[in-house]
Amino acid sequence: MLLLLLLKLLLLLLLHYMIMKKPELEFGPERFTAQSTGWLTTSRSRSGSGERETRLKERERGRERERERGERERERESRDRAEEREREREREREREREEYSYMR
């Protein structure tokens, strides 16, 4: 049983090696190409690479928009915190003025 399992594993490894060594193999009407990841895709999906590139560009634009949105949000929060600190300082100064005015 274990020997059979090892034999299957060896055959799979050999098949993977052959595919990676010779990237394009013919299997009937469709051609398969080994991608850099080692996964097989049909040439039909490769022909739609324009769509794939468009999707990748859209995804990158989306990431850029998210990054910009995050930066704007952080800047706004930073400004809000700075304004709140300034208001707190102003309140503190006002309290000190009131205390000094009571002391006089």
What does the pLDDT read at residue 37? Answer: 47
Residues 72, 78: Cα–Cα separation, whole Å: 10
Q: What is the mean pLDDT of residues 4-31?
A: 76
Residues 26-84: tens digit of each pLDDT: 555 555 555 544 555 555 555 556 788 888 899 999 999 999 999 999 999 999 999 99
Please name the residue that has the structure tokens 């794939």: 52
* Sheet architecture: strand order including 40-42: 24-27, 30-34, 40-42
Query: pTM, whole model, 2 decimals?
Result: 0.40
